[in-house]
Chains A and B, each alone.
Chain A
């Protein structure tokens, strides 16, 4: 027989191979991010810009009311703000992975990977892992920016760590939505379009920048049930920042933001993960 298949290479069983291949593809994703600073803007410049903009430009006009009716603390807004911008930035985590996947599909990289003997699922896992690591970047940068504008945490270390853990969990859930979008939409440009008309407004109709009780009618209801409000509220509660305490007439999610956001994280992961994987499989089938 003149055609010899290349010998199976030693030392890598299916399991280790999956982690190895995932890491190789994740490393590629991280290099891509490093070399496209403009694509990193949503995780670097943008959140810092929002912190400065709202702290110094709009912040003076926004007051954080106290549920007990005591007069609002004029300096509370800088602390209130951070939970909201953290939450908004975690929600934007959808787009990194969606853009990366859409461009891989568009420029043939997915085909190249598929013609290689790599472990099943490692392309998606690699993208997901790279974007989870990418998610740490804005968390660190914004924490620093927050400290500079006067944000402080007032609770125990475990509570503060829990807040950071919650952000990472939320990012994980967002990645599944990102994979779904990146598989369904044909081009990176389409992903950007969806970002602008869907996710961007959703992060504003929430308790991100203003307390929900200042919003009119329907918007108020949307904001109260918006998981981004719940994440912002959870972070405020765990950091011990103002604006966490609900009003008596607030609906259940505002009274139990941590439970509510955990439900969303679980729900998104349970619903979107299988959908995302099958959408990805379909997108590359022919």
Chain B
């Protein structure tokens, strides 16, 4: 019936408009089975719209897509059988217990009540929720809710998983825990598509990164390719004594071979580097030899803003205004 495909998700020319605003303006991508793709972009870039289209919640105004080999337009129920979706604001049912949430989802996947209960127990234990299984989800912490939400998406063991900003709003510890859970899933062959506003998260989890802005893909590739495009890791130092900043900048330039950006007010100098930790060590030694005291010295990732600055020449903007949306819409015709 369906041609065998090695892509778990395929989209071509997806277009979606909301009134005068174009949320997606011809988006193409392919996610090979068993891999992780991160869709990276600011609020309002079209990430959630893309996920909603691929999970059959929203109908596209143009373009086609297949999930797990099934067309989203003509085979919606089969698509739904094959996917798990964790929406942006963890949509666990606050008035049900953790266990009841999972059993209900299992029953709505038609596992049968007995099997649904068994599956719920297993997931509660996998996600360290057994102790709170019979408490209402409204009493759960943010991290526990996300874990429950993720467990709910896995009830029917879907081959394809969509996570819309899975770690937004989580504290660093809860975020790390969730990342470890996702590592485990991917290790078992699940295809994962997640959206995020953090380059760090995309890099940590994804094989491929799709950078999206104003409904268009502006860059695509694995994290190494992408980082080469945006300048990659940066070496940053903060000197204690502002008078020594010039000297420190000279050392930084020698260590990295390129011109550092200097912020005198913040006593900070930043330079892109491809040498990584080796460059950090060399600069550290040179600073010590010169007797320059530093408050901070380290590697840092370019922020999403810097990525966008490099890729588009403009900083990441939230929610395009009418003015910026209109030219895009014309371009779509």
What residues make up the interface of A, taking CB atoms closer than 8 Å to B?
A: 1-6, 8-9, 11-12, 17, 20-21, 24-25, 27-28, 31-32, 35-36, 107-109, 111-118, 285-286
Contact = CB atoms under 8 A, between A and B. Distances in A.
B108 A5 contact: no
5 contacts: A6-B159, A108-B89, A114-B56, A115-B80, A286-B18
A25 B85 CA distance: 19
Contacts of A285: 58-59
A108 B87 contact: yes
List the 3 shortest-distance A-B pairs measured between CB atoms, nearest first.
Answer: A108-B91, A1-B4, A2-B33
B110 A5 contact: no
B91 A3 contact: no
B282 interface: no
A35 B83 CA distance: 31
Contacts, number: 99
Interface residues of B, number: 47
Contacts of B6: 1-2
A109 B93 contact: yes
Given A2-B34, A3-B8, A3-B69, A113 B108 contact: yes
Most buried by A among B70, B89, B105, B110: B110
Nearest to A24: B107
B96 A6 contact: no
B69 A111 contact: no
Nearest to B100: A31
Main secondary structure of the interface of B (DSSP, over half): loop
Interface of B: 4-6, 8, 18, 33-34, 55-59, 68-70, 77-78, 80-83, 85, 87, 89, 91, 93-96, 100, 104-105, 107-112, 136, 152, 156-160, 189, 191
Contacts of A17: 110
Contact of A109 (B4, B56, B68, B91): B91
B244 to A, nearest CB: 54
Contact of B108 (A3, A8, A118): A118
Given A108-B87, A111-B91, A3 B160 contact: yes
Contacts of B95: 31-32, 35-36
B156 A111 contact: no
A6 B57 contact: no
Contacts of B83: 115
